Structure 1
């Protein structure tokens, strides 16, 4: 199967002020967020992209625009409702410090699978739609471009955490153990037998090892776990 690069949007004015933005319109990257998105773009730039998928939220589309800026070959771009921000309902627009005093906050921390946000969606529903969306796009990219293809998805912190939890085989109630920084990069490969998580919440480092090797574009990636750990990412990409 193809390889998916997951990027959280860069820092926003709402993040900086401690506000839960949710699906509120007009939430854009601040100066720091633009710098973070540019750095993510530099890290991803050596990797040819078969597709770019983004949440419809403005901050994600802005992040994607910065990431793709300057590329000689641009991938097709799809705006995907399945990876939109969680519908926090009445909570959106509230200060995190205010929300942390509410009874439901403790359930969000300890038992997310039991949470439905007032006037919004449940966290299991959020995870289900996100996982369905990325697995659907991954299968389509693989069918169209082969197992060595790489594609990009720009989404939100809780969405990416829920996708990673699914790939790791973690119950949703454990997903708060994961952390996803603004503009951080995580990498997942969905195999025939199981997903493989290649990276989580990275903020630096060369990603050129994800690029298909010349002459091996359509090669089949081995999904077996290598006893002893193997020889590193070059083997994982070219095998």
Structure 2
């Protein structure tokens, strides 16, 4: 079956503002995110990409635009099933304000039981994303053969849930996975099992360095205080 190249969107204005954007319209790449997107065509230059699929949200479509510009024959498809988690009433709120909400402990420790007020459950999020990938795998293989490679641009929690599925991990373990902005995760699907080929690859180890304090406080990142950043965070400073 196909090899899926999962790209998380580049850093967004919401990431740098510490806001849980969710499906809020009008969230775009920031300057660094645009630079990350501009570097994507060179990073994927060796791959014969058969198709490009994106979440309908602006930050994902903007991330793939340089790749589309570099490959004029590559058309963009959008799929609502790989859109960001519907965080409901949490959408547009500061992550710092949400940290002490009782639901946050469930999101961190037992995400398969987490459902956002006015939004969707994390279990439903994973189900729709996995169904989308299975569907696209079949479509790509039928059109381009079993060794085809295609790109899908989505969001942090979506990609983490797909990685959990590929590894046979329970959703309750998915907060142990981290994917940086504009990172590449590759999964090769076969008839009997998926193979995780790359996970959150940015080609840059700067994210592993201790963060430099800014105005007395370091930017939140996965692993701080044992917590995952809901929505994926802004990546390395």
TM-score (norm 1): 0.83
CA RMSD of aligned residues (A): 1.1
Q: Deviations over 1:5-63 (max 9, x none)?
A: 00000001100010000001100000000111122221012212111000000100111
SS where residue 49 of structure 2 aligns? coil
Conservation of the 8 A alpha-carbon contact between 2:3 and 2:188: yes
Partner residue, 2:231 = none
Partner residue, 2:39 = 39
CA distance in 2, matches of 1:6, 1:176: 17
Alignment of 1:1-239 (within 5 A): 1-71=1-71, 73-204=72-203
CA distance in 1, matches of 2:45, 2:86: 32
SS where residue 6 of structure 2 aligns? strand
Q: Deviations over 1:152-175 (max 9, x none)?
A: 000000000000100000000000
Conservation of the 8 A alpha-carbon contact between 1:40 and 1:185: no
Conservation of the 8 A alpha-carbon contact between 2:20 and 2:95: yes
Conservation of the 8 A alpha-carbon contact between 1:34 and 1:66: no
CA distance in 1, matches of 2:168, 2:120: 23
Deviation, 1:77, is 1.8
CA distance in 2, matches of 1:18, 1:74: 37
Deviation, 1:123, is 0.3
Conservation of the 8 A alpha-carbon contact between 1:4 and 1:187: yes
> Any stretches of 5+ residues in structure 2 without a counterpart?
205-237
CA distance in 2, matches of 1:31, 1:104: 33
CA distance in 2, matches of 1:82, 1:45: 27
CA distance in 2, matches of 1:70, 1:152: 14
Name the larger-Rg structure. Answer: 1
CA distance in 2, matches of 1:128, 1:109: 19
SS where residue 105 of structure 1 aligns? helix
Conservation of the 8 A alpha-carbon contact between 2:68 and 2:76: no
Aligned length: 204
Conservation of the 8 A alpha-carbon contact between 1:50 and 1:76: no
CA distance in 2, matches of 1:166, 1:74: 31
CA distance in 2, matches of 1:30, 1:108: 27
SS where residue 197 of structure 2 aligns? strand
TM-score (norm 2): 0.84
> Any stretches of 5+ residues in structure 1 without a counterpart?
206-239
